[in-house]
Structures are given as C-alpha cells and as structure tokens.
Structure 1
Amino acid sequence: MIGDRAHEPIDRHAVDAAEAGHSDAVAQPHTADEGGQMIAAEAAAARASTQENPLGKPGARFDRRSPFMIGMAGAAGVAVTFGAIQAVIAVAQVLVLITIALFLAIGLEPAVSWLVRPRFPRWAAVTAVAVVAMGLFAGFLAAAIPPLVTQGGALVHNAPDYVSHLSQRYPLIGMLNTRFHLQDRLQQGLGSDPAGLIGGVLGAGRLVFSIVSDTVIVAVLTCYFMANFPQVRTSFYRLFPRSRRPRAILIGDEIFVKVGGYIMGNLVISLITAVLTFVWLSIFGVPYPLLLAVLVAILDLLPVVGSSIAGIIVALVALTVSLPITVATVSFFIALRLVEDYLLVPRIIGRTVQVPAIVTVVSVLLGAALLGIVGALLAIPVAAALLLIIRETVLPSLDER
C-alpha cells in the first residue's frame, strides 16, 4: 500500500503551491512522497500567508468554559503552585541572604545619596560607603577577636568552677546544682573525650566556614544592590500601571526611608548600649567585659526581648563577683532599658518608624517563628511598611464604601 501510494499521480499545481509556502530552510527537498493530504495542507498554508499576516490569521479561540479547558487550567495551576512552593523551599537560605543584603543596601542608601548630592558619581559614593563599612567591621574584628577568644576560652574553662563557687555562696544555686547536677553536666560537656573533641572541632569549623561564606555573599550582594539601587527602584515601580505609578513612588520611597532609618538607628543604639555596658562592667570588675558587651550589642538588635535576655546573662556572670554588684548591674540594665526606650529610640528611630507597641510584639513573634533571628530583626521595618500601605491604600478604599 505504501509503495502504491508513493506512485499515485500527484497534481503538479498543488506541489508548486505547496513549495511556494514551504520554508527553504526546513525539510528540503519538497517532494510528492509526503502524501496528498500533506501537500494540500501546505498549499493551504501558502494561500493563508499574506503580506499583512505572514503566518496566517489566528484561528478561533479555544472554549475556555469547556470542561477540558477548566480541568487543564486547574491542574496547571496546582502544578505551578506546588512547583513554586518547592522552589522557594529549596532556595530558602539563599533568599534569606538576598533579603538581608537588600535591607542593608536600603539602610546604607541615605549615606550613599548624601554623598551623591554634592556631585559625587554614584560608583564613588558606593565605594566610599562600602570601604568605610568594611573597614569599621574589619577593624572591630581585628581588635575584638583576640580578647573575645581569650575571654571565651577562659569562660568555658572556668564554667564548672563558677558553678561550684556560686553553689557554695548562694543556697538556691546550690540546691539547683544538687538537684540537676549542673557542675557534672558542664564537666561532661566540656570534657576531653577525643571523639567528642574531634566532632566539636569539625562542627565548629563548618560553622565558621558557613558564617564567613554567608558574610561574604551578603557583603557582595549589598554592594551590588547599592550600586544598582536606582535601576532596582525604577524596575520595581515599572511594575505598577502608569496611572498608579506616581502614588506608588510616593509610598515606596516613604517605605525605603522607614526601613533605612530603622536599620541604621538600630545599629547605632546597639553600639551605644555595648559601649555603656563595657564601661560599667570594667568599672565594677565583672569578668569578661568585652565578651559580654559584644553579646549585649548582638542581643540588643532583637526588639522587645533582646536587651532583657542580655541583662539576665550579664547579671548571672556578675554573681561571681558579689551580690551587691549583681543588684547594681540589674539596676543598670533596667535604667539602660528605660533610657533606650524613652530617649534613644524616640530620638533616633521614633521619628522615622512609628509602630504601635502591640504591633511590635506581634510582628517580632511572627518574624521569629518564620525566619528565626533574621525574621525578628526585620519584623519591625516590615510591619511599618505594611502599616503604611494599609493606611494609605486599604483604609481609604474601605472608607469610601
């Protein structure tokens, strides 16, 4: 049958018409072996190709209400949504680093823009800000790491002795030590078991490598975001319709100001609290003042609970000196918290970020549950941005109904 069909007489006019619509770059040579049905279809394609519509006129649309199309659309939506969720989960760590870099770039943008205004090229302003920030960070590490390592090692080595000392001095701690065997647990945890020591060294090495690599990635991304911030901002606003774009620019720039003010203000406040803590501990002879001051600075970045946790830890260390010093240290941290809440935050952050107390607490809890420490750090600026959007867009729309 195939051989007979190949020798069937073919209309040469149809072949010529098919060749006229057949691309010179596809499936040459064009012969009668393709069959009469294909030649007729190619001839029809040649007739459909016109100067106005080189690829022919579009055919009738599919019936979107047909059960098949509805089922396909639903299945495709489920598949795309599932794939998107899996993709987000797979790159969650990278997305966190990108978010941190973006927030840091927004926080440093006021400094960059301040340098650009006196006719600085943007690349020079970004370079200056990046060099100063990295120089300060490197100088801090160079000055702080040796004493931190020394004091941290001494604290770990002397921890069991501190527990024994506190147990003898304070009956309550002695009772807890007797009931929960705190000293024995510390000695076992800090023992010299070779396998545990090797595992601890390897784990510490992996942790240090992860921290260093993540820091480098965030630093590089932050520089890229700062250098290309005008293009990023423009691309973001281009996503809005032209009629709504001016309003989006006003609201978006206000959000950038709030986020940048909060990040820079929070860093400044943490630095102030760390310096005051270091001075206080050094004056009263509390051991490991630099280590505890750095710990206070890091924990103070966490809203609501960070400074309280830092005060408890420092007070426990102050117990090794004397009870009056501990009481004085607790009083110092209460006073420091009051100064921070009613003097530093209103003057440094309050004018830029205005978030009610209940919203602050709820946002910090939700942020910590979603992204841990990073979520707690970014919770307040995100909450401030959402409040601004709700106040400027959602509430006016609801009031008009």
Structure 2
Amino acid sequence: MRDSEAGSSPRDDDAAEGHRDYVGQPHSDTEGDNIVAAERGAARISSPTHPLGTAGAPFDRRSPFMIGMAAAAGVAVTYGLIEVLIAARGVLVLIAIAAFLAIGLEPAVSWLVRHGFPRWAAVTVVFVVAFGMLAAFLAAAIPPVVDQGTNLVHNAPDYLHHLRQRYPAVDELDSRLHLQDQLQQAVGGGSVPGVVGGIVGAGKIVLGAVTGTVVVVVLTAYLLADFARLRSSLYRLAPSSRRPRTILIGDEIFAKVGGYVLGNLLISLITAVLTFGWLIGFGVPYPLLLAVLVAVLDLIPIVGSTLAGVVVALVALTVSLPVSLATVAFFIALRLFEDYLLVPRIIGRTVKVPPLVTVVAVLIGGALLGIVGALLAIPVAAAVLLLARETVLPQLDRN
C-alpha cells in the first residue's frame, strides 16, 4: 500500500494497482512521477485474460543500435561456442561414440519392439547380449593377447638379429639406422625415474580408457532407452512445413549409420577369423595377437587393412620369405574379398561413398579426432552426401 502524509488520491490508487504488495515496500510518492505513471499504465494493460499484459510492438531491428548489438552478440556467442567445443572436446568425442553405438544397435531394439517386447525389455536384451559378447571375448582374448604381446616385445631384438643373418637387406638397413641397438634400449628399459614415469603414464592411460569405456557404455544405454523420444524431439526442431521431409531424410541417415556400424563390426570379425586361420596354418607366431590387431585396424577404412597386412607380413618374415610373400598375397585377396563380397552383402550399397570422398573423409577425421575420427568418417560422409543430394543440389539446380 502507499504511505503518504496527505492520504491516497485517485491517481495514487490507480498506480498502486500496478504495484505488487510484496515487492518494493514501502511504496511511496518519492519513487517519482515517471514510475507512478508507468505503474498506472501497468494497471490499465493488466486484465483477467492477460494478467501480465500483451506483447508490445517489436523493436526496430534496422536501428543502428540493434544491428550493432546483434553483431556483437553473434561474435561473442560464436567465440564462446568455440571455446566450449575446445574445452569439452574429450567429452564430445565420448558422446559421439555412444551416439553411433546407439544408432547401430537401434535396428535390433526396434525389431524386438515390433515383435512384442516393451522398449525397456528390448534395450535390456540387446544391451546385455551385445556387451556380454564383447566382455566374454575380451575376457577370453586379453590374457593370451597380453602374453603374446609381451613375448613379442621381449623377443623383438632376437627376431631382428635372425632377420639380419638371413636377409642382407635387413642387415644393411640395421647398419644405417641401428635398429637392433634401439630395440635393445627400448626393451631393456632405462633409468629408474624413466621406468617409474612410464608406469605412471601407463596407469593414467589405463584409467582414462576404463573411465571412457564406462561413460560410453552408460551413455549408450541411456540413448537407446530414450531413442524414440530423442528422435521426436530432434524432428520437432524442424519447421512444421518441412518436418515430413526432415523425417524421411533423418530416418535414412539413421539407417545408414546403423547399418554401417553393425556391418563394419561383423566384417572385422570375419577378417580376424580368416587371418587367425591363415596364421595358424603357416605357423606364424602370435596368431591371436595379430588377428585381434587385424580386427581393430580393419575398422579403419582404406588404410586399416593395408597397415594390418604390412605388420602381419613383417612378422611372417621371421618364418620365411615365401610365407611372408604368401601372407601379402593373402591380404590382397582378403581386401578384394571384403570390398567386392562382404561389404555389398553385409553393409549394402546404401552407405556407398565414392573412393575419393572416402580417402578425404578418413584423412580429415583422423587429423581432427585420431582413430575415432577415422572410424566415424565414412558414416558422417555418407550423411553429408545424402543431405547435399537431397537439399543443396536441387536448390542449386533451381537457381
């Protein structure tokens, strides 16, 4: 209420109606005529249907002040977003991995839902089966892989010495680059502080890998469980007139990414099994370790299988030169088998990306995000090509 020595006037009562009883008390005439007039106007525009009044005329966006403020705000927001992206780069990579895994597992979840499973039950079944199989494989493969990897590291100088004696070219290369001395120094270790520092660094790497894996698993579970609502919320960001076409294009992108993720994992598993059989048949040492290496590297398009073939051929050289050359021929045949039979049948031609675009995408993805960027480069490139073909190019053709 108003406090005034002269009492209340009609003018004061009208103004008091525009002032809240529990805001800015004591309410007096000392607030000034401008505020009193504004409160009187607030009382007039307030109505039962619009207690806070109706929106007024918009600001003049063409005024120099508004243009300057908009430009300054745009620069500030852009700079802030760039800083946030740089600071949260690691977290965003984990979110991207979880999103791709969720999209890859979504076809299996939707298939179970269509066959009568509740959404939560379908997610639980797919999640338990997928990560249960992964955990079982890791539990069975890690001990022999670690054992074989340790033996390979410790025996590397002996293998190099053996190669020097059998192949003059290797002996000449070692004489120039002193490879055996470097291997002996690397395997034999260094000073105590260096060893301690290496152990601490390895512990940090292991801890970071475990933490990242847990975060990815949890995020994947949440994204799968809430995928239908997230999909709807994403499509609601599009204008109503464009929403139907957005749904068609968006679902096509989801299908491409999902098919690529599942198909690429299956192809890597097949190549690893074939490699393991080849190495066992020709007595190449460390077959399981090399097969796992082939499976991991084969996930990287273009360069992955080539790099894996070079590594395996070098190890096969410790058996004999003919076995090494036969291993090179095997990987060439395996690459042709993968490109012309496995990829069209498993992944299909829906994720077909031109070779030049594939190479450029892998190089850019690897430069930006390392191995993760190289793994995600192909589905991202496929999505970008789809968007360009369906939206940008028709618009350019009309112009």
TM-score range normalised by the length of the shorter chain: over 0.9
What is the CA distance between 1:213 and its match in structure 2?
Answer: 0.9
The residue number in structure 1 matching 2:104 is 107
Q: Structure 1: where are the runs of 5+ without partners?
A: 1-5
What is the CA distance between 1:34 and its match in structure 2?
Answer: 3.6
The residue number in structure 1 matching 2:320 is 322
Letter in 2 for 1:147: P
Out of 199, 202, 213, the residue aligned to residue 200 of structure 2 is 202
Out of 337, 340, 362, the residue aligned to residue 338 of structure 2 is 340
Distance in 2, matches of 1:13 and 1:101, equals: 66
Paired residues for 1:283-302 under 5 Å: 283-302=281-300
Aligned-partner SS, 1:65? coil
The residue number in structure 2 matching 1:3 is none
C-alpha deviations, 1:126-167, integer Å up to 9, x for none? 111111111111111111111111111111111112122211
Distance in 2, matches of 1:58 and 1:329, equals: 76
Q: Find out whether 1:389 has 2:366 as its counterpart.
A: no
The residue number in structure 1 matching 2:185 is 188
Letter in 2 for 1:185: Q
The residue number in structure 2 matching 1:270 is 268
Letter in 2 for 1:278: F
Letter in 1 for 2:258: G
Distance in 2, matches of 1:25 and 1:249, equals: 50
370-379 vs 28-37, greater mean Cα deviation:
28-37
Distance in 2, matches of 1:116 and 1:48, equals: 53
Distance in 1, matches of 2:164 and 2:80, equals: 57
CA contact (8 A) 1:10 1:32 kept: no
What is the CA distance between 1:61 and its match in structure 2?
Answer: 4.2
Letter in 1 for 2:39: E
Letter in 2 for 1:81: T
Paired residues for 1:10-25 under 5 Å: 12-25=9-22
Letter in 2 for 1:257: A
Aligned-partner SS, 1:190? helix
C-alpha deviations, 1:228-284, integer Å up to 9, x for none? 111111111111122222211122111111111111111111001101111111111
Out of 322, 328, 331, the residue aligned to residue 329 of structure 2 is 331
Letter in 1 for 2:195: L
Distance in 2, matches of 1:392 and 1:21, equals: 55
Distance in 2, matches of 1:41 and 1:352, equals: 64
Structure 1 residues 40 and 332: alpha-carbon distance in aligned structure 2, compared to 1, 3 A threshold: closer
Structure 1 residues 23 and 204: alpha-carbon distance in aligned structure 2, compared to 1, 3 A threshold: same
Distance in 2, matches of 1:369 and 1:165, equals: 37
What is the CA distance between 1:302 and its match in structure 2?
Answer: 0.5
Distance in 2, matches of 1:102 and 1:126, equals: 14
Q: Structure 2: where are the runs of 5+ without partners?
A: none
Structure 1 residues 244 and 30: alpha-carbon distance in aligned structure 2, compared to 1, 3 A threshold: same
CA contact (8 A) 2:4 2:29 kept: no
Distance in 2, matches of 1:36 and 1:124, equals: 67
CA contact (8 A) 1:262 1:353 kept: yes
239-248 vs 311-320, greater mean Cα deviation:
239-248
Structure 1 residues 393 and 191: alpha-carbon distance in aligned structure 2, compared to 1, 3 A threshold: same
C-alpha deviations, 1:58-78, integer Å up to 9, x for none? 555433323222222111110
Distance in 1, matches of 2:266 and 2:99, equals: 19
C-alpha deviations, 1:89-113, integer Å up to 9, x for none? 1111111111111111111111111
What is the CA distance between 1:40 and its match in structure 2?
Answer: 4.6
What is the CA distance between 1:10 and its match in structure 2?
Answer: 7.9
Aligned-partner SS, 1:352? helix
What is the CA distance between 1:53 and its match in structure 2?
Answer: 4.9
44-53 vs 390-399, greater mean Cα deviation:
44-53
The residue number in structure 1 matching 2:146 is 149
What is the CA distance between 1:27 and its match in structure 2?
Answer: 1.9
Q: Find out whether 1:119 has 2:131 as its counterpart.
A: no
The CA RMSD measured in Å over matched residues stands at 2.1
Out of 160, 163, 175, the residue aligned to residue 163 of structure 1 is 160
Q: Find out whether 1:81 has 2:78 as its counterpart.
A: yes
The residue number in structure 1 matching 2:255 is 257
